[in-house]
């Protein structure tokens, strides 16, 4: 895909969004028609459904449902912004769209949301794919993410140098995609960034993960600067019967850096689900 095509694809993404009633909260989502079971793709902190736009073309033929979490993108903000709030929204979305035990794929914050969802609403989830996730972020006050978010001021510029770190990935990720991601994130007020991050920092999903019964695939970037091998091994221990695979040479966003590899891993989970 050349630069002009990339720009056109990313420019059209927002226009593809629909609205669902997630328990009284309007959630925006993008849907791609295809075969069942559906894949429900949940993005990370400050991202939107756009986060999976590069991966979507590698999942051709599958039904995809890709929401914006509350307070992100075109979704309503609601009153709370904790992991449990996001998980309840996704449960409402599954019910509203009548999804039949989807395979839930969560990235980063979305991975945490997926674990909480599967722990508290096991009847709604078929399988889990937990990507670049953690049970307990445990960011210290001087962590680069905490310090960077604390320094943001409204209106946030999509050219803020913070994005050089926050959206860092290996060469080859389309610049049109990264630019639009920064635009999406910058539309969020700085106070919302800080409120959500504080909720993330205080979250501990250890007990919730032990309650998950859905078959789970863990995907981790070998060069992830946020959630290291220690975090991934803790996930593997807590999520009984899970399988851990590594995306070599990838950082915190393997679905941007190597979408073909991630799609192949998800396809393996689909094959197991259909066996």
The span from the CA of 247 to the CA of 229, in Å, is: 12
For 184-222, the pLDDT digits (tens) are: 999 999 999 999 999 999 999 999 999 999 999 999 999
Q: Are 134 and 227 in contact (CB under 8 A)?
A: yes
Instruction: Please state the three-class secondary structure of 19-38 as a single string.
Output: EEEECCEEEEEEEECCEEEE
What pLDDT is recorded for position 88? 98
**Would you put residue 215 in left (φ > 0), alpha (ψ -120 to 50) or beta?**
beta
Place of tokens 């979490």: 69
CB-based contacts of 219, cutoff 8 Å, min separation 6: 129, 130, 131, 132, 245, 247, 254, 262, 265
Q: Are 212 and 128 in contact (CB under 8 A)?
A: yes
Choices 1.25.40.340, 3.40.50.1820, 3.30.565.10, 3.30.70.2740: CATH for 3-274? 3.40.50.1820
What pLDDT is recorded for position 3? 73
Q: Are 103 and 29 in contact (CB under 8 A)?
A: no
What pLDDT is recorded for position 98? 97
What pLDDT is recorded for position 258? 97
What pLDDT is recorded for position 1? 64
Domain boundaries, the chain: 3-274
CB-based contacts of 229, cutoff 8 Å, min separation 6: 220
For 69-88, the pLDDT digits (tens) are: 999 999 999 999 999 999 99
What's the sign of the alpha-carbon dihedral 72, 214, 252, 234? positive
Q: Which residues of the chain have pLDDT under 50?
A: none
Beta strand pairing status for 18-22 and 216-221? unpaired
Beta strand pairing status for 103-107 and 35-42? parallel
Tell me the C-alpha to C-alpha distance, in Å, between residue 52 and each of 8, 83, 103, 234, 241: 16, 20, 15, 26, 26
The length of the chain is 275
Q: Are 92 and 22 in contact (CB under 8 A)?
A: yes
Q: Residue 191 burial (CB < 10 Å; 0-12/13-18/19+)?
A: exposed
What pLDDT is recorded for position 50? 98
What pLDDT is recorded for position 275? 54
């Amino acid at each position: 895909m050349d630069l002009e095509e990339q720009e056109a694809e990313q420019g059209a993404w927002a226009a593809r969004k629909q609205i669902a009633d997630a328990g009284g909260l309007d959630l925006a989502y993008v849907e791609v028609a295809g075969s069942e079971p559906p894949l429900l793709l949940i993005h990370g902190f400050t991202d939107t459904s756009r986060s999976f736009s590069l991966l979507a073309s590698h999942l051709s033929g599958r039904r995809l449902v890709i929401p914006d979490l509350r307070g992100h993108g075109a979704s309503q903000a609601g009153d709370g912004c904790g992991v449990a709030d996001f998980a309840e929204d996704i449960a409402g979305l599954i019910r509203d769209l009548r999804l039949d035990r989807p395979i839930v794929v969560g990235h980063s914050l979305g991975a945490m949301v997926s674990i909480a969802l599967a722990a508290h609403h096991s009847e709604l989830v078929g399988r889990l794919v937990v990507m670049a996730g953690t049970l307990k972020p445990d960011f210290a006050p001087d962590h680069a993410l905490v310090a960077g978010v604390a320094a943001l001021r409204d209106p946030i510029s999509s050219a803020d140098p913070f994005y050089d770190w926050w959206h860092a990935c290996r060469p080859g990720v389309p610049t049109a995609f990264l630019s639009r991601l920064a635009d999406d994130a910058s539309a969020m007020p700085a106070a919302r960034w800080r409120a959500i991050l504080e909720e993330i920092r205080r979250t501990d999903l250890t007990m919730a993960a032990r309650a998950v019964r859905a078959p789970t695939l863990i995907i981790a970037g070998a060069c992830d600067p946020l959630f290291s091998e220690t975090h991934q091994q803790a996930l593997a221990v807590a999520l009984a019967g899970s399988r851990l695979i590594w995306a070599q040479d990838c950082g915190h966003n393997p679905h941007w850096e190597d979408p073909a590899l991630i799609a192949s891993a998800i396809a393996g989970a689909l094959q197991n689900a259909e066996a």
